[in-house]
Amino acid sequence: MNTICETMDDRVERGEGIRDKAGMDARDWVARISSGTMSDAELDRFKAWRAASPENDAAFLRERAFWQELGALDARPPLERRPPRQAHSGRRAFLVGGSAAIAASAVVVAAPRLRLLWDADHRTAAGEQREVSLPDGTRVALNTDSALAVRYEPGLRLVALLRGEALFDVKADGAGPFRVAAQDGITSTDWGSFAVRATDDEVAVTVTAGRTSVVSPGPSDPAAVPRTKAIEIDPAQQTRYRPGGLPLPAVAVDLGQELAWRTGRVIFDGRPFAEALAELGRYVPERIVLADRDRARDPVSAVFSIREAGAAIAALAETQGLATRRIPGIMIVVG
């Protein structure tokens, strides 16, 4: 006769299994979020998964805390993040090293993306573009991998570009100027059209119509009236500013080149190879790693379709005699 007996160790092991599964699921969700390709439907499924059980919620909180603690890695150069080589060989070494590389890449990007998902009212994944309409009729075209938060109140029209790039076609409104906060600067206009591109290191403002003012650094509350003197930008002009720094004097730019993404293209005219790779890299979910830095400053001139960004990266690398190796959803190594 068979005897079925459940010991305390069995129950503990079963409990650990539940927690382990929740932890694995939580890491999987972080990996999906970090890929930059997560859709609104997937985000809804993630929220449902988190709410389904206390174990899921606790696992997510643990994983989020872990990513946030390591979020400072995002500011370090790729070579500083590279783990020291181990003297392993064979399939086991490949599996261990591959897992570590994938985990490290996820750490680098997961924490910022998690934060953006909570804060953003509108967002795009890598390679996606979207147009949205704001309450006052202002139209916004979001470029790849971008996030936007909206704050409209009586007498206030304010949006925050949390990440990426957007073109604003501002409708005149008696409610006051339309403002875009990016990093610690503020761009404002009563009407017109301008693009803002925000990275961790710099913000660029390009005006296509109307007259636009830029203040940096702005007030701690973007809704407050800026006290710093603004610089004025006319059509076909651009200014840039770094966090904590003043805007640079406005310079004339080629709008067709600066806003080529609106027609599905990127245009390089003597652009350093590394910068061109980084630009194309905005349109794919993978992180671009340039292994051969000797060619980083070599100028390149070309026109590529952003709808075939992966093929464009391979073609651009080939012009420099380099090959590409792709780990889907994680990285593309050029060298």
The per-residue pLDDT for 335 is: 86
Q: What's the token pair of residue 268?
A: 């390089």
The CATH class of 264-334 is alpha beta
Mind listing the pLDDT tens digit for each residue in 246-289?
A: 999 999 999 999 999 999 999 999 999 999 999 999 999 999 99
How many CA atoms lie less than 13 Å away from 196 in the CB half-sphere?
A: 28
Domain boundaries, the chain: 8-119, 130-253, 264-334
Residue 157 has pLDDT above 70, yes or no: yes
The per-residue pLDDT for 170 is: 95
The per-residue pLDDT for 123 is: 92
The per-residue pLDDT for 315 is: 94
Average pLDDT over residues 186-213: 95
Q: What's the token pair of residue 288?
A: 């671009």
CATH architecture of 130-253: Sandwich (2.60)
How buried is 144 (Cβ within 10 angstroms: 0-12 exposed, 13-18 middle, 19+ buried)?
buried
The per-residue pLDDT for 61 is: 79
Average pLDDT over residues 207-222: 87
Pick from 103-117, 138-152, 229-243: least confident: 103-117
Average pLDDT over residues 308-324: 93
pTM: 0.67
Average pLDDT over residues 293-311: 92
Residue 12 has pLDDT above 90, yes or no: no
Mind listing the pLDDT tens digit for each residue in 67-121?
A: 555 443 333 333 333 333 333 333 333 333 333 443 444 444 444 554 555 578 8
Average pLDDT over residues 149-172: 92
Looking at every residue in the chain, the average pLDDT score rounds to: 79
The per-residue pLDDT for 104 is: 43
